[in-house]
């Protein structure tokens, strides 16, 4: 596992340098900039351990999280735990953890949501994770970032900005979405794109990343860029709010406005398996 990570990072950096060189061949003074690792979690540790509390905090609750999600996000290692093989596993289960209440009544599902808010944030660079995703209707895992002035769904958002590095809907098994949300362009009006992997993203690990500069965000899958957005892509008169520090989130929602709710064919438990999260400047 560790050798695959090193190889993947080397290849990703090499690809970035090659692409930069290709786009600057007419400007002799320009040179590709090397990436510098500024933050990393490779999720090493004994099986069953909670993720590193110096890097991550569990969000807890079942209020729907602004999206009518059905799960209750639990603390500790109940739904977010290391597997002892260098991975973080976020598990969604059909259960009501400790008789918890959700926005619709007694909770029917549990899952996990982690954030680096208050522990790490950064403006610009590459935000990258290697993951294996769940499958089935109602499964909605995501790797995303939020402006560090976010305080709550009704306090700071969407003015703070949101960059969804990876969103995935379990009954669209080959498709990954990348989206910007800001004032006047959020939820279904978010600005971004998608790509088709050609095979189910639940079948193996894939690398999801954004390369973010002051006036550009580029999304990639396995080192291949699939969409770039700049201020000119926003609706007329709308503000580009992506020029300050953002923190990261990993979560696995069950149900909600994007994925729809599980149906009779949905199977639980399901897992979102994260090999690593790396941030570069």
Q: Give me the residue label for tokens 């979102």.
A: 272
Angle at 31 between CA 27 and CA 33, to 5 degrees: 140
Token readout for 172 is 């669209």
Is 162 a known active-site residue? yes
- Count other C-beta atoms under 10 Å from residue 215's C-beta: 12
Q: Who contacts 141 (Cβ-Cβ below 8 Å, separation ≥6)?
A: 90, 131, 133, 134, 166, 167, 168, 251, 252, 253, 272
Radius of gyration of the chain (CA): 18
Is 98 a known active-site residue? no
Catalytic residue (one of 69, 98, 162, 239): 162
Catalytic residue (one of 95, 128, 167, 172): 167
Q: Are 238 and 92 in contact (CB under 8 A)?
A: no
Taking the C-alpha atoms of residue 247 and residue 147, their distance in angstroms, rounded to an integer, is: 6
Q: How many residues does the chain have?
A: 281
Q: Are 248 and 127 in contact (CB under 8 A)?
A: yes
Compute CA distances 267 → 6, 88, 89, 92, 111, whole Å: 34, 21, 17, 10, 14
Catalytic residues: 162, 167
């Amino acid at each position: 596992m560790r050798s695959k990570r090193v190889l993947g990072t080397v290849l990703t950096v090499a690809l970035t340098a090659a692409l930069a060189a290709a786009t600057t061949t007419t400007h002799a003074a320009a040179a590709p900039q090397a990436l510098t690792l500024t933050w990393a979690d490779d999720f090493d540790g004994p099986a069953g351990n909670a993720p590193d509390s110096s890097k991550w905090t569990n969000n807890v609750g079942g209020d729907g999280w602004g999206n009518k999600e059905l799960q209750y996000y639990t603390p500790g290692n109940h739904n977010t735990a290391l597997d002892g093989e260098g991975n973080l596993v976020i598990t969604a289960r059909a259960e009501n953890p400790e008789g918890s209440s959700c926005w619709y009544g007694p909770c029917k599902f549990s899952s996990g949501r982690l954030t680096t808010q208050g522990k790490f944030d950064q403006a610009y660079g590459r935000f990258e994770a290697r993951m294996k995703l769940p499958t089935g209707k109602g499964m909605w895992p995501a790797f995303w970032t939020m402006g560090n002035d976010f305080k709550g769904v009704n306090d700071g958002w969407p003015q703070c900005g949101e960059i969804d590095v990876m969103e995935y809907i379990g009954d669209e098994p080959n498709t990954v979405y990348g989206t910007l949300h800001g004032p006047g362009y959020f939820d279904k009006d978010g600005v971004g794109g998608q790509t088709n992997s050609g095979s189910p993203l639940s079948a193996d690990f894939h690398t999801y990343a954004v390369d973010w500069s002051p006036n550009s965000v580029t999304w990639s899958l396995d080192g291949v860029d699939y969409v770039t957005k700049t201020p000119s892509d926003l609706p007329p008169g709308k503000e580009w709010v992506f020029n300050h520090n953002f923190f990261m989130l990993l979560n696995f929602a069950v149900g909600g406005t994007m994925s729809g709710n599980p149906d009779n064919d949905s199977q639980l438990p399901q897992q979102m398996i994260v090999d690593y999260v790396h941030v570069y400047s």
